[in-house]
Amino acid sequence: MSERPSVIVGVTPSQPHHVVEQALVFARRFDAGIVCVQVDSARFVVDGGDEGVVIAAPFDPDGGDVIEEHFDPEVIARVAPLAEAAGVECRFIATAGDPARMLGQVAESENGILIVVGSRRASFGSSLREFFTGSVAAGLAHRQRRPVIVVPLDPVSPETSLPWDESR
C-alpha cells in the first residue's frame, strides 16, 4: 500500500482530457499523486501479475484467450504530459472486471482519498449500455467510503430532455 495519498481516476481511450485535468486539480490541492485506472469490463482477473499487470479471462467462454491486461499506450501518451506539466506523480494500472468494484479495490490498495470518473454522454446508446451494465458512478457512490467526483463529459442545457428522463 502506498503511503502517499492518491487520487484515483478511471480512464478510457476515448475520454476527453478534462476528466484527468480535474483529477490533477484535486491531486495538487491534496498534495497527492494520481493513479489512472483502465478497466476491461468484458474480462475478469484470473491472477495478479508483476508491476500492475493482471492476467484476465473473458466472461464469455467464446470470448477469446486469457491475456495480460496492459494500459493503452495512447492514453499514457496523452495523460503523462498533463501530469508532468501539473507537477503531479502519475501511475497507470490496467485491470479487468466490474469498473466500480475495481476502482474501489485500487483506491484501497493505493491510499486513494477520492475517485474521479467521467459521466456518460447523454445519448440513447449510452443509456442502453447503462441499462445493461449499470452506472460506474452510481456503483461507486453506493459502495465507497471515499468521495466520488463525477466530471461531466458532455453537459447539456437544463432545458434539454435527457433520454432517461421520464418527467419530460
Q: Residue 93 burial by CB count (10 A; 0-12/13-18/19+): exposed, middle or buried?
A: buried
- Kindly report the number of other CB atoms within 10 A of residue 145's CB atom: 7
Q: pLDDT at residue 93 above 70?
A: yes
Confidence of residue 121 (pLDDT cuts 50, 70, 90): low
User: H helices of 34-116, where?
Assistant: 73-86, 99-109
Give the Cα separation of 7 and 102 in Å (integer): 14
Residue whose cell numbers read 500500500 = 1
CB 106 within 8 A of CB 37: yes
The pTM assigned to this predicted structure is 0.75
pLDDT of 47 above 60? no
Q: For residue 57, count other CB atoms closer than 10 A to its CB.
A: 17
